[in-house]
Structure 1
């Protein structure tokens, strides 16, 4: 793989993993629109590892507090705010884990069509725009109920449909439940940690025992560039989300979806 491919794909993955614009759509589209060879499963793992590292570093203090409180809750059966949040992340991950195992083959073959991507970008982009337009929420993450967690978790499972965007659909659900934009984004990012980890584990499992050659320099470059771009994306998204809202991302999704329909229909 040429280094220009590494740089472009890593930056695209890092930025789009946490913006509500669908990283999977972009990783599929880049080789399609540029006539590059598909980057392959090994490089996909590297890119996801970079994104995972970024979100864990950014929320490192939250993760430490959540882990300590969650561990303590197992013994005391008492839940403080951090333990509740840890359980919320765990329980919110179950629906997408089950759906991923059940529909993995369909997702990786039938649904990778650019037309499905266009449909996901447009339909769920409009839903995100509507949720943000009617946004009046002020609730924080600490005020979520277990029903809220279940709804957001089920919404996250829908993101397996390409073009939906995992962050986009979870933020949409959280906004509709009355969370503030910042709280919706923060919980979405925390939810991404076990999901990205599970995705990497499944992809690695597929690689075990295969004869796929590994270019370790390319892998390291992908991890580093994806991680840096993802970290910066998280930081600036959370810093400006209350001010800019979701409408710029909605417009981008609609334009990209329309372009795909024009190109591939």
Structure 2
């Protein structure tokens, strides 16, 4: 009997708008399927509410709900591409340490993830990362170092990965944002922005260190001045005491002479 992965191909799970694997797939009245974010954005930017494929027009905008059947089919296809679950059991035996991210697909969720995928909103161990290396559509996903807050890396409006940075508004944006509200803004990749911020932080670090060294030198100079003033003050006091002592001796000598003259 043919396996699930041989009966279905990856092309059957691609959205015709973004050409990527379905994310929250929905079925519109004409029967075609799209990512929920893709069809919503398509209808938002077009005057007529119609299907992007067959161009069937709808009198009013259909209410969209996730097609759980297609969503489960996508999940099963990915699972079948991952091969035997024996390796998953072996991976689960090695529990990650504190601060590490677990694989979302290993039994028990105890295996250490080596990569996270913002597109899939999941983290993968080495075994479960294999489909991202073999399936054409998944190869286009932007894998990052394991993180535990993937939902924070998604655009709240379009439910897409925040892959770029708008320097005009100083905010992270997804691809749909750059084509709509931020289409005339200065957009750069996160890698470029990360390098720019890193360079700024390095320059700031150098400036802070120089400022600290300057302050320490100033404190040293002030301490030196205080010590010098203290020594000068002590010398002045000593010399003043000597003058005062000589003056008292002279007064007493003059007093003795005066008394002798009176008598």
Between Structure 1 and Structure 2, whose CA radius of gyration is higher?
Answer: 2
Structure 1 or 2: more strand by fraction: 2
TM-score, length-scaled by structure 2: 0.27
Which gives a bigger RCO, structure 1 or 2 (Cα 8 Å, sep 6+)? 1
Structure 1 or 2: more helix by fraction: 1
TM-score, length-scaled by structure 1: 0.27
